[in-house]
Structure 1
Amino acid sequence: MFGIQEINAPQLSSLMQNEPDSFHLVDVRSLAEMAQGMLPAAEAVPMHLVPLRIDEWRERPKIVVYCRTGVRSAQVCGYLQQQGVNQVVNLRGGIVDWYRQGLPIEMPEASSQVG
């Protein structure tokens, strides 16, 4: 989608199990959406706060971004690429597909809900 790199839920699950330190996982949904559950070890950075994190993310080797269905996170990936952050990957299908695949979702800690 939009010329960005994508990963599907089973691939991300495998990456989380086998190479957990090789990427940074970012949830760009709203705080209300995140309160319903997040992927394990994801950082909460609502979409409107993404521009504030660009300089920090330039140093990351890989960033996997997700939202509810993969549309907003694809937009975030496209935006980050325009800003020169090219090591971003979109979770195709978002947390909805992740859940449909039977993969685990965790309830966020109240203190970790804002990136």
Structure 2
Amino acid sequence: MIEEITTEELKKKLEDGENLELVDVREDEEVAEGMIPGAKHIRMGDIPDNLDYFDKNKEYIIICRSGGRSFNVCAYLDDQGYKVRNMVGGMLNWTGETK
């Protein structure tokens, strides 16, 4: 079972100053339209080559356009033993700040 977080829950945590590990797995041209400040961009296809970025003691919130790709990345990382949470609804539902 993959843990989830809504865009509203995430926005509130960020507004409350929580230090979160956000990973945006969209393609370059999608990210160019704006991403959540503080998010790290690692394309979905590059995740297996970037496992050294992830720390098993931290939880990562995975973000994509609508929540589908991020779910797949969460399932993959969960299988590898990482703590992950899928941002449901993706950037299509995000109402917070972008950069």
Same fold (TM over 0.5): yes
Percent identical residues: 34
Q: Which runs of 5+ in 2 are unaligned?
A: none
Cα displacement (A) at 1:50: 0.7
1:41 is matched with 38
2:65 is matched with 68
Residue type of the alignment partner of 1:52: D
Q: Which runs of 5+ in 1 are unaligned?
A: 107-115
Q: How many residues get paired? A: 99
Confirm or deny that 1:11 pairs with 2:4: no
Residue type of the alignment partner of 1:55: D
1:88 is matched with 84
What's the TM-score, normalizing by structure 1?
Answer: 0.79
Runs of 4 or more, structure 1, over 3 Å off, are: none
Q: Which has the larger radius of gyration?
A: 1
What's the TM-score, normalizing by structure 2?
Answer: 0.91
